[in-house]
Chain A
C-alpha cells in the first residue's frame, strides 16, 4: 500500500542506449535508463481528468428499511476496480450543489452500469434525496472511478479477509461479486460482517447464496443490538477471538480489507496488526459521520 514515488531529482540527459562507438553503457547510463523507464511508467499510469458524466437511473430497489440500491447507466464509464467509489453531484435550481462519495457495489462487468447502495442518514442531504425522490429515468451527475489502495482484483490473490461494519459492506460486496464472476477457482475469502440487527443486513440473500454454494467462502455475521428469536450466530462486537476463529478457517489472509464506521475500523485494523499481519496488507476505509 505504501506507494513510493519515482525519483525525479536529477534530470537525465543524453541518450541511453548503445553508444555510437559501440561501447557498453556505464552504470550511470543504466541509472538514466531506469529513471527514464520509471518516468515513462509514471506518465503511462497518470490518470485522465475525471469529467462529470450524466448517469441515468436504470433501476431502484430496496435492500433494507434504511438502504436502497440504484443501478446507474453511465455510457463510457471507465473500467473500475472493486472497492472504488464515485462522486455524485446534485444541483438545486438556485445553483447550490452538494457532493457525496458512494462506493460501487457491483462488480466491473463491462455492462455500462454501476450499482450504488445508499444508506438513509436521517438528517442528511443527499441520501434522503436518493431515498425519497430518485426514481427510474432520473439523471444523476457523477464522476469516477475514484480510489486507490482500497481495491481488490482477482489477480491480487488471497486468502482474502473482508471485515465490514454496517454499510461498510458495500465496497466489500463489489469485491465478492468480482471474485465470484472471475475466471478460474476463486481465492479463499471470508467476510466478517457486523450489523445492528438482521433487518439491517444488506445483501443477506445473496450472501447466503454464495455461502451455500461456495465452500471457499466463509461468512460470519454478528448482530450487535437486536437478534431474532432462535438466532444462533454471533451477538457481540467484533473482537480478537472472533477474528482468530475466522482466520483459523480462512488461513492467514494475504490481504485484508476493513470498512465501516471509524471505531469499527480502528478496532478491527488494530486487532489484525496485533495478530501479526503486516500493516501494509491491511487496507482500510472509514465512514465517519460524513457521507450523509
Chain B
C-alpha cells in the first residue's frame, strides 16, 4: 500500500546494501530490557556447557590469553537501525571449543545466558566457522558496559538481539528453545535479510 504523500528522504549511496526495513545509523543506540549489570572482572568467568556438564571455563585473563580474531562487519538491530563498518575483536567460539578440547559441537542449538538474566537462542552452526565472537573490544576500545561490556556475544549475521550483552555462558542443546525476546514473540532465528523480526516472519 503506497502511503499518500510519502517519498522517503534522500537515500544515501551505500557501498553495500542494508537489509529491508532498516535505516542507516551513525550513532550506536542502546537497547536493553533492564539496568546495565555491574560486572566484577575479578569474579567474572565464561562457561561453555552441554546439558549440566561444563565443557570449559575461562576467567578474564584466560580469555585474553586466547588467540584473538577481528571482524569488520555491518550490524542490524531489530529496532530498524543498521550500522556499517564496525570493528570488533574477541575470541571465536571455534577457538574456545578447541581450547576446551571439544572437537564436535555437543548439540545443534545454543542458549546464551548473561548477567542480568538475559538469554537468547540460536543454531550452533551460526556461531561456528568464524561466524561469531566472544567480543571484548569495539572500535579498538573495551566494550562499554551499556553496549554489553566487558564481554558480549557477537553474531553479526543475525539481528543484534542475538549478540547477547554481558554473556556468561553458552549452553549446547539438542533442541531449540526460546530465549528472552524469543519468548515474547521475536523470531527464533532472526535473519535480517529475510526480515525475520517476529514469530511467523
Contacts and interface: CB of A to CB of B under 8 A. Distances in A.
Interface string A129-157: 10001000011110100111110000000
Query: Is the interface on chain A under 10, 10 to 19, 20 to 34, or 35 or more residues?
Result: 35 or more
B173 interface: yes
B29 A289 contact: yes
A98 B82 CA distance: 13
Nearest to A291: B79
A33 interface: no
A125 B9 contact: yes
A36 interface: no
Contacts of B3: 90-92, 129, 138-141
A282 B35 contact: yes
Interface stretch (A111-119, A163-171, A243-251, A266-274): A266-274
Interface stretch (B58-66, B92-100, B127-135, B175-183): B175-183
Interface in B27-72: 27-38, 51
A24 interface: no
Interface string B3-34: 11111110100000000110101111111111
Given A2-B118, A93-B2, A283-B34, A290 B79 contact: yes
Given A98-B23, A149-B184, A290-B80, A133 B6 contact: yes
A5 B198 contact: no
Interface string A1-35: 11111111101000000000000000000000000
B116 interface: yes
Contacts of B177: 5-8
Interface stretch (A41-49, A178-186, A212-220): A41-49
B117 A1 contact: yes
Interface residues of B, number: 56
Contact of A49 (B6, B23, B183, B199): B199
B8 A9 contact: no
B119 to A, nearest CB: 6
Contacts of B6: 90-92, 98, 129, 133
Contacts of A147: 184
Interface in A66-109: 87, 89-93, 96-101
Nearest to B35: A269
A200 to B, nearest CB: 21
B34 A148 contact: no
Contacts of B38: 273
A290 B33 contact: no
Nearest to B182: A5
B159 to A, nearest CB: 13
B174 interface: yes
A277 B1 CA distance: 47
A288 interface: yes
Interface in A181-214: none
B8 A269 contact: no
B25 A290 contact: yes
B72 to A, nearest CB: 22
B33 A284 contact: yes
A266 B4 contact: no
A98 B174 CA distance: 38
Given A3-B183, A91-B6, A98-B8, A262 B35 contact: no
B35 A284 contact: yes
Interface in B184-201: 184-185, 197-201
B111 interface: yes
A239 interface: no
Contact of A91 (B1, B29, B32): B1
B39 to A, nearest CB: 12
A54 interface: yes
Nearest to B80: A99
Contacts of A97: 20-21
Interface of A: 1-9, 11, 42, 45-50, 54, 87, 89-93, 96-101, 125, 129, 133, 138-141, 143, 146-150, 262, 265-266, 269-270, 272-273, 279-280, 282-284, 286, 288-292
Interface of B: 1-9, 11, 20-21, 23, 25-38, 51, 77, 79-81, 111, 116-119, 121, 146, 173-181, 183-185, 197-201
Given A93-B7, A133-B6, A272-B35, 10 more contacts: A1-B33, A2-B118, A3-B180, A47-B198, A49-B198, A87-B197, A99-B21, A147-B184, A262-B30, A289-B26
